[in-house]
Amino acid sequence: MTEKYIIAMCGIPGSGKSETSKRLGQKLKINALNPDTFRKKYIYPYVKNRVINGKWQSFHKDNIIDKQWYSCAEKEILNGNSVIMDATFHIYEKRKKLYRLKDKLGCGLLFIHCVCGERTAISRMKKLERLGKKTFRNNINGLVMAYSSTYEEVSKDSEKPSTLEYNTETEKLKKYNIRDSKFIDQIVKILSE
């Protein structure tokens, strides 16, 4: 039987999570799910301007999007597929749902922590905005610095998850708590190409 995994892409905005997710998804022939895609599909068409009086407005529908995103991932695993979940997962509180989902489904969980320098992250985000591929609701420099200063290392979670730290600038890998797995070996090989 083939191993089923939730691959949780994590890291600060601009660290290369989405590009790495796409690359892995294509090579492994599995879906890469990103909550921004769900927001664009289910919320943005109905809300023209979420900025009121200069402040970003959060809607209760964001929680619905989160539930749909996790539900989609669960369906992938139940259908016999692995799945990539692409988000910052920058604090332990945000990762708890992944641990619960892993336990519920009896599948593997691998974190891929994408890292790069803050300048690189800022430059990548500004390029995406300039190309019209993404719009950021906050000051990009402030956003990157805020995530960087609050990021809680995955490798220090009490669950001791299997974690690959992937430097998207140098393409170097570090391994933490990696268990024997042909699937993880395949991911390491792809990231090392």
- pTM, full prediction: 0.86
pLDDT on residue 42: 58
The CATH fold assigned to 5-34+82-192 is Rossmann fold (3.40.50)
Q: What percent of the chain has pLDDT over 90?
A: 58
Burial of 22 (0-12, 13-18, 19+ CB in 10 A): middle
Question: Under a CB-based contact definition with an 8 Å cutoff, are residues 30 and 84 in contact?
Answer: yes
The candidate with the shortest Cα–Cα distance to 4, out of 159, 97, 110, is 110
pLDDT tens, 40-86? 665 555 454 554 444 545 554 556 778 888 999 999 999 999 999 99
If you average pLDDT over residues 5-32, what whole number do you get? 95
pLDDT on residue 143: 83
Helix (H) / strand (E) containing 175: strand 173-176
pLDDT on residue 1: 44
- Which residue's entry shows tokens 């990539």? 84
